[in-house]
């Protein structure tokens, strides 16, 4: 199990397949602010609420020059169904072998009703335009998270 990344460290590079079958790399977004959020599973209540909040705030993210990327262990077909069902307007990255989750410390031991298992911890990384970790939310509560992220981007933009 990997550790959480600290603010100020370089964001680990990755390549992943999106919900549309395209390959993306973190380096494709060099010069932009990236909101990299990890969620456990497509089309489950909390994950749907979080994705729809990011969808609904997308124009605000775009105005601030930020890109939102959602990551879960689901495959691209599952992501495509999730995207289409909720008209999601940002890429969902397939991480079935949880390599990205591992690199960012989001793949962790979870304890559900006394049963331990490995899974994605709902978490978000804000990566600045230089590719460094600017902020980390380790255990995300879905309600109001999109607003917290927007606020962090605004203060990041004000300091650059």
Q: Percentage of the chain with pLDDT > 90? A: 84
Higher pLDDT, 157 or 57: 57
Per-residue pLDDT at 160: 60
Catalytic residues: 47
Do 63 and 96 meet the contact criterion of CB atoms below 8 Å apart?
Answer: no
In the chain, where does DSSP find H-type helix? 45-56, 58-63, 76-86, 99-104, 145-159
Cα–Cα distances (Å) from 49 to 15, 39, 125, 126, in that order, read 26, 11, 18, 20
Three-state DSSP class for residue 79: helix
pLDDT tens digits, residue range 8-60? 999 999 999 999 999 999 999 999 999 999 999 999 999 999 999 999 999 99
Sign of the torsion angle spanned by Cα atoms 101, 21, 76, 152: positive
Cβ 132 vs Cβ 160: under 8 Å: no
Strand partners, 42: none
Q: The whole model's pTM is what?
A: 0.94
Q: What is the pLDDT of residues 112-137, one digit of tens each?
A: 788 888 899 999 999 999 999 999 99
For residues 37 and 29, the answer to whether their CB atoms sit within 8 Å is no
Domains of the chain, each with CATH number or no CATH: 15-159 (3.40.30.10)
For the chain, helix (H) and strand (E) counts, in that order, are 5, 9
- 93 vs 7, 52, 80, 111, 116, CA distance in Å? 23, 16, 10, 25, 25
């Amino acid at each position: 199990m990997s550790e959480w990344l600290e603010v100020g460290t370089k964001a680990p590079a990755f390549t992943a397949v999106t919900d549309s079958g395209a390959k993306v790399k973190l380096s494709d977004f060099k010069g932009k602010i990236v909101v990299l959020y990890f969620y456990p599973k497509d089309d489950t209540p909390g994950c749907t609420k979080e994705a729809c909040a990011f969808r609904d705030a997308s124009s605000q993210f775009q105005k601030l020059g930020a890109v939102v990327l959602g990551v879960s262990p689901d495959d691209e077909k599952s992501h495509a169904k999730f995207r289409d069902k909720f008209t999601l307007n940002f890429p969902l990255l397939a991480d079935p072998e949880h390599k990205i989750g591992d690199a960012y410390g989001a793949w962790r031991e979870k304890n559900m009703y006394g049963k331990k298992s490995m899974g994605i911890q709902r978490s978000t990384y804000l990566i600045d335009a230089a590719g460094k970790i600017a902020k980390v939310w380790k255990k995300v509560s879905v309600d109001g998270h999109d607003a917290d992220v927007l606020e962090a981007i605004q203060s990041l933009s004000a300091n650059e």
